[in-house]
Chains A and B, each alone.
Chain A
Amino acid sequence: MRDPLGPVPFRTAAAASGAAALGLALTALALPGCGGGGGGGPGGGDADVVVVMAASSLTDVLGEVSASFETLGGSGPAGGPAAVTVVPVLAGSSALVAQLAEGADADILMTADAATMQRAVGNGSVQGEVASVAANALVLAVAPGNPGQVASLEDLSRTDLLVGLCAAGVPCGTLADRALNRLGVEPAVDTRELNARALATKIALGELDAGLVYATDAAASGLETVAASGLGRFANSYLMASIDADPPAAVRVVLAAFEPGGLGAEAMLEAGFGPP
């Protein structure tokens, strides 16, 4: 039984060993869902593969969505194809946009902020309609047990604390800079981490006393947070779009899952995302 999660390019590469096999593989690629091979069990048959490029903060959500589609198997939503296999490709939003521009093969793009999505639309890699699927607010997270006795956002200016933020240019860093600027806090930063998860991990390890992380990362890492008035207003929009202007049915099914009430939207709410 072949692995339905195997990325498409690998299947082609493996088949390249023989011309006949290559021909067969091309047929299978051209006619998804129509190949022979029996199968039939949940996720075991021939499923339409939908490659979703998503910001790494969506790792858990997409894992869940992918599993849900697998259990749905042949009993997919009415009108949809027999089965849909969701293959997540995860990286930082800007890295994904760069990969798309260099010709990476994907069906859907999900970014952690509007700026990166605009870049993808601007350079023509994304042709589909852009929809906002969720929001992610910043929270003030502290090391386990709050050894630095952080009580408010102003404590980020204390030089005796080890304070971390995301790097400027990374969505969570741009957002943190804007929030602190508007709220009039000048932080005494000790490190500008390259992505949101790395920052959350260092706070969870107790190596940093405090930092501004996404609500979802705080929830995923089980971080203690301190109430910070005004911070909740600062949130990034998570945007989603299909790569093609007129995507095939299987891609539409996955897009629809992130509309309010869909299994993707539910998974996002559970992970701590706010409504769009």
Chain B
Amino acid sequence: MSKAGADRPPALLAGVGVLALVLLTLPVAGLVQRAPWSALPGLLTDSTVLEALRVSLVVSVVATAVCAALGVPLALILARVRLPFPRLVRAFVMLPMVMPPVVGGTALLFALGRRGLVGQWLDSWFGLRLPFTTAGAVVAASFVALPFLVVTVEAALRQAGADLEEAGSALGARAWANLVHVTLPAIRPALGAGIALAWARAIGEFGATITFAGNLPGRTRTLPLQTFLALEQDPEAAIAISLALLAVSLTVLVALRTRWTPR
């Protein structure tokens, strides 16, 4: 875009930026430095850890799919439809980001629990119970992760503008064809970033999961829950699991970034 070096920030700002990077990476260094390297393979192939890893992957991947399926249409509404009280609507979309996850989990229990606002009808009409099930863990993870996808995609939709879509319509493209061939390709990098953010939030989710979905091995016990339990009894195992979680997350984030976004 601009000449090399011309848009380089002032030295002071760059220094502060590096400080921010230190703040983000220092805890990882702390974890790595305490890691019981020789015991690592044993700790990580423990059957309870592998079980939690499986639950974590299933829950986070399904939750990310749910976020994409629900979040893109919501982002389209926010970006393209004139809504009543748009600020209020947008505040509600962001709410799970600022709400302590434990509060979110409690709210989910009051809404979708067996005695909850909607949950009591789900139970009596369909025999559907979400708390203490894997589906419940997916709901909890989707609740906290959804805003990350919506906010990212909505911003891209606004930036892309409706011009291309209007041109498409003028050329006779149907609404669906327009969406698939014009809108989505235009926001592809943002969609990738939104999916990566949502997945990252989902796999690290703890508070809403334990509150709404509980903690049962093989069903709702994810890696973060396993880490918390291990921290009480076997700190070395907790460090090992945290490292594994970090490694998996970093790998996926880097892969998604290179796959979806231009460098």
Contacts and interface: CB of A to CB of B under 8 A. Distances in A.
Contacts of A189: 216
Given A190-B214, A194-B210, A170 B232 contact: yes
A194 B215 contact: yes
Contacts of B129: 162
Contact of B216 (A95, A192, A207): A192
B132 A162 contact: yes
Contacts of B235: 98
A94 interface: yes
- Chain A interface, >50% SS class: loop
Contact of B131 (A95, A98, A207): A207
Interface in B186-216: 210-211, 214-216
Given A205-B115, A207-B115, A164 B233 contact: no
Contacts, number: 54
Contacts of A194: 210, 215, 225, 228-229
B232 A95 contact: yes
A210 to B, nearest CB: 13
A191 B215 contact: yes
B113 A191 contact: no
A94 to B, nearest CB: 5
Interface residues of B, number: 21
A92 B220 CA distance: 22
Given A194-B210, A207-B114, A167 B132 contact: no
A192 B232 CA distance: 14
Contacts of A193: 210, 214-215
Given A167-B215, A190-B214, A191-B220, A206 B132 contact: no
Contact of A94 (B214, B215, B232): B232
B109 interface: yes
Nearest to A190: B132
A169 interface: yes
Given A92-B232, A191-B220, A205 B109 contact: yes
Interface in A191-240: 191-194, 198, 202, 205-208
Interface of B: 109, 113-115, 129, 131-132, 210-211, 214-216, 220-221, 225, 228-229, 231-233, 235
19 contacts: A92-B232, A98-B231, A162-B114, A162-B129, A164-B214, A167-B215, A190-B216, A191-B132, A191-B215, A192-B214, A193-B214, A194-B225, A194-B228, A205-B115, A206-B114, A206-B115, A207-B113, A207-B115, A208-B132
Interface of A: 92, 94-95, 98, 162, 164, 167, 169-170, 189-194, 198, 202, 205-208
Given A194-B225, A198-B211, 19 more contacts: A92-B232, A94-B232, A167-B215, A190-B214, A191-B215, A191-B220, A192-B214, A192-B216, A192-B221, A193-B215, A194-B210, A202-B214, A205-B109, A205-B115, A206-B114, A206-B115, A207-B113, A207-B114, A208-B132
